[in-house]
Amino acid sequence: SAVISQKPSRDICQRGTSLTIQCQVDSQVTMMFWYRQQPGQSLTLIATANQGSEATYESGFVIDKFPISRPNLTFSTLTVSNMSPEDSSIYLCSVLKQHEQYFGPGTRLTVT
């Protein structure tokens, strides 16, 4: 299994600002993922972050808006840039380990 922590757990931000979310895993993993989720709804993949290469973004998500860093095999960050109220959501970090996917507790972001 994998134990994942995220910081911050929640934040309220003003529109136009940026927030960086941190994801820390208790073991080395190759594949890390960032998801977005509206409360009570399913998950939408933002990007896949592999160490040593640029993140791969899904349709509808761009690097300028959601820059990702992956400096090593246990850590990643997702920045939500130039935020608008539409960015209010839960952001989840996830890792693939031994063919199974594990999730962090999420970061609940509210943009006012």
Partner 1 sequence: TQLLEQSPQFLSIQEGENLTVYCNSSSVFSSLQWYRQEPGEGPVLLVTVVTGGEVKKLKRLTFQFGDARKDSSLHITAAQPGDTGLYLCAGSNYQLIWGAGTKLIIKP
Residues that bind partner 1 (CB under 8 A): 4, 39-45, 92, 94, 99-106, 108
Shortest gap between Cβ of 82 and partner 1 (angstroms)?
26
What's at 19, amino acid-wise? L
| CB within 8 Å of 83: residues ≥ 6 apart | 13, 14, 15, 16, 17, 18, 19, 109, 111
| CB within 8 Å of 53: residues ≥ 6 apart | none
Q: Which is nearer to partner 1, 4 or 19 (CB)?
A: 4
Shortest gap between Cβ of 27 and partner 1 (angstroms)?
16
Q: Which is nearer to partner 1, 66 or 91 (CB)?
A: 91
- Cα angle for residues 71, 42, 56 (degrees, 5° grid): 30
Q: Which is nearer to partner 1, 13 or 31 (CB)?
A: 31
Shortest gap between Cβ of 33 and partner 1 (angstroms)?
8
